[in-house]
Structure formats: structure tokens, C-alpha cells
């Protein structure tokens, strides 16, 4: 029997709210069997024991969305002439973030909703298992035909071995060993964040001239400006998300990722769009970090005690 208010078996005619029927049935089997599975490696499991947690089962969240390049609102070029040949100095990189209402914001809003739905369903499964958190979260995105994509979140739900439990499960991309190090240093994971930003720039004459086959090995200033601007916008997204969560910082799971696509807007008019994405764990402080123990103690032989 699942925890009341967490998951409801809605039957075969699922309307997209709550968890899918297959997920509900899988959780019920896991609770009835008493088997506690984990996605963690052996060393990560050992660290989890040190941190005072035990696995209660694997959890997953998934959603499939249909996505297209929608919400086009200009590429920054507003000069005259054929294909932007005149006034190239007016070209700039236009940047959008989820919810900004700017160029391609609906596309970013869809991406953001996909990740939030997948992570939210994973957290719902953790609540159904009575977990205090999710460790070792893995996020992946698979593209299907006709613009369909699956957003998938996987992790190992854990429960504290002590008497105090959380009202809301935390989530972290870190494993058990890193979780133990964080707690020892006075940090606690809050949530998994997926930060997105998108920039679009018109391929003006100067940019296209830099990419001709005869141009040689030279920098393309337009593309450099595009990726630099989008990366900076993504860093601002990380700060904003941390502020929304009340977190004090974040740990990046991997380096920021950049994807660039060419858009054929019309005859003689091409743009390039760059999407920056970053997966991180938001962190909050607790206790007095200055009181944390040192990792190395030297025992002298002169009888004056450790130093």
C-alpha cells in the first residue's frame, strides 16, 4: 500500500497528472517485496553508510514531449540590404532564458518543463517509498522521431538511519562518498538544478566572410560572441536558481554544455542558435563549518600532542 497523498493509481486512462500507472505498479511491487535496490557503486554505498543513510530503492521520473523551434522573435539584425550585407555592426546576440518571453522562450520553457516534470516524478516516487532524499541522480535526454524527446531522471532513494526525517526529499547528483564529505564539512544538498539559456545571432556579412573556405584558420568573431554570451547567461541562471531555492551555492556535475544549430530562416538569411545547459546540485549550509575536523593529524614522537 502506498503512502496516502503521494501516489494514486489512476488506472489505464492516465491523464498525465501524478505518476503513470506503470510507475505506481512498480512502486507497489517494490514495497511488497521488501527488496531494497540501489544504483550506487560499492564505494558510493560505503560512503552512504558513513553519512548515516540506507537505500530504500531505485526511483525514476520520465516524460516525453514534442518540441519544435517555436517562438521566433528575431535574431538581432535590423539593418537593410540583402541578407544583412549593410550595417553589419548592428548585429547582436539575442539571449533568452525560461520564462523571459524573449526569442525562443517558448522552446526553452518546454525544455525546462520537461526536466522539471521528470525530476518531480522522481521525487514523487521517493516520497512514496518514505525516502529522505535521492543520491546519485542521473539525467539523460533521448531524441525520437518527429521532434519527440524523452527526459529521464534516475536515482537511488535513501532514508536516514536516525530519528529525524525530512518533510521533502532532497536530491543530489553526487554519490554517497561525496554526500558524506559534504555533510562533514557543514553542507547539505537541496535540489538538482537544470539551468538553460539560448542565444541566437544573425549570420551577417562579416561572419560569413570569416567562414569562407578561403578564409584560412581565423577566428569567427560572431560565433565567439554567440557562445560567450550564452555561457554568461547560463551562469546567471545558476545564480537565480540558487536564490529561488534559498541555496548558498551549487556543485556542477559536469562542465557546461553548448549545442549550436544553424537555422535557415529565409533565402539569403541564416542564423545560428546556441543552447547552454548545466546540471548542478544546489547546496545549503548548516552548523559551524569552522568546527569541522581536519582530514590529517600528525602524531609527533616528542610527547607534545597532535598537531
Q: What is the pLDDT of residue 304?
A: 58
The three cell numbers of residue 122 are 522522481
Q: What is the pLDDT of residue 86?
A: 36
Separation of alpha carbons 168 and 133, rounded Å: 8
Instruction: Give this prediction's pTM.
Output: 0.78
Confidence of residue 93 (pLDDT cuts 50, 70, 90): confident
pLDDT at 298 over 60: no
The pLDDT tens digits of the residues spanning 258-277 come to 998 887 776 667 888 899 99
CATH numbers and ranges of domains, the chain: 35-286 (3.30.110.70)
The pLDDT tens digits of the residues spanning 131-148 come to 999 999 999 999 888 778
∠ CA 7-9-10, rounded to 5°? 115
Q: Which has the minimum average pLDDT: 25-34, 42-51, 164-173, 286-295?
A: 286-295
pLDDT at 65 over 70: yes
pLDDT at 292 over 60: no
Q: Looking at the DSSP assignment, which residues form a beta bridge with residue 53?
A: 160
Q: Indicate the average pLDDT of the chain.
A: 80
Residue 124 has, within 13 A of its CA and on its CB side, a CA count of: 19
On whether the CB atoms of residues 45 and 176 are closer than 8 A, the answer is yes
H or E element at residue 252: strand 249-252
Q: Which has the minimum average pLDDT: 203-207, 221-225, 285-289?
A: 285-289
Task: Find the mean pLDDT for residues 168-191.
Answer: 92
Task: Find the mean pLDDT for residues 42-54.
Answer: 89
Burial of 114 (0-12, 13-18, 19+ CB in 10 A): buried
Separation of alpha carbons 191 and 244, rounded Å: 11
Confidence of residue 12 (pLDDT cuts 50, 70, 90): low
On whether the CB atoms of residues 279 and 173 are closer than 8 A, the answer is yes
pLDDT at 214 over 60: yes
Q: Which has the minimum average pLDDT: 33-37, 66-70, 243-247, 292-296?
A: 292-296
Q: Looking at the DSSP assignment, which residues form a beta bridge with residue 197?
A: 276
pLDDT at 9 over 70: no
Task: Find the mean pLDDT for residues 146-164.
Answer: 91
Selection from 265, 266, 252, 263 nearest residue 226 by Cα: 263
Helix axes 176-184, 42-51, angle to 10 degrees: 30
On whether the CB atoms of residues 99 and 156 are closer than 8 A, the answer is no
CB contact set of 276 (below 8 Å; sequence gap of 6+): 196, 197, 198, 199, 230, 231, 233, 234, 256, 257, 258
Amino acid at each position: 500500500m502506498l503512502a496516502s497523498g503521494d501516489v494514486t493509481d489512476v488506472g489505464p486512462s492516465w491523464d498525465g497528472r501524478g505518476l503513470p500507472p506503470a510507475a505506481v505498479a512498480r512502486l507497489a511491487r517494490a514495497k511488497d517485496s521488501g527488496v531494497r535496490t540501489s544504483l550506487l557503486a560499492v564505494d558510493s554505498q560505503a560512503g552512504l553508510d558513513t553519512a548515516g543513510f540506507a537505500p530504500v530503492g531505485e526511483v525514476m521520473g520520465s516524460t516525453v514531449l514534442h518540441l519544435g523551434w517555436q517562438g521566433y522573435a528575431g535574431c538581432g539584425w535590423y539593418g537593410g540590404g540583402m541578407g544583412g550585407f549593410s550595417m553589419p555592426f548592428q548585429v547582436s546576440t539575442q539571449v533568452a532564458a525560461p520564462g523571459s518571453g524573449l526569442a525562443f522562450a517558448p522552446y526553452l520553457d518546454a525544455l525546462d518543463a520537461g526536466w522539471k516534470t521528470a525530476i518531480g516524478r522522481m521525487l514523487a516516487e521517493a516520497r512514496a517509498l518514505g525516502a529522505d532524499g535521492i543520491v546519485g541522480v542521473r539525467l539523460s535526454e533521448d531524441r525520437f522521431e518527429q521532434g519527440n524527446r524523452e527526459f529521464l531522471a534516475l536515482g537511488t532513494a535513501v532514508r536516514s538511519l536516525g530519528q529525524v526525517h525530512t518533510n521533502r526529499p532532497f536530491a543530489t547528483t553526487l554519490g554517497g562518498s561525496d554526500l558524506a564529505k559534504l555533510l562533514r564539512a557543514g553542507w547539505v544538498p537541496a535540489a538538482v538544478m537544470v539551468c538553460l539559456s539560448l542565444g541566437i545571432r544573425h549570420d551577417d556579412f562579416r561572419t560569413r566572410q570569416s567562414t569562407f573556405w578561403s578564409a584560412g584558420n581565423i577566428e569567427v568573431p560572431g560565433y565567439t560572441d554567440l557562445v560567450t554570451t550564452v555561457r554568461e547567461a547560463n551562469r546567471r541562471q545558476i545564480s537565480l536558481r540558487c536564490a529561488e531555492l534559498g541555496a548558498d551555492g551549487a556543485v556542477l556535475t559536469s562542465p557546461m554544455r553548448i549545442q549550436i544549430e544553424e537555422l535557415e530562416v529565409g533565402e539569403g538569411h541564416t542564423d545560428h542558435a546556441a543552447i547552454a545547459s548545466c546540471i548542478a546540485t544546489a547546496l545549503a549550509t548548516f552548523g559551524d563549518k569552522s568546527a569541522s575536523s581536519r582530514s590529517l593529524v600528525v602524531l609527533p614522537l616528542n610527547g607534545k600532542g597532535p598537531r
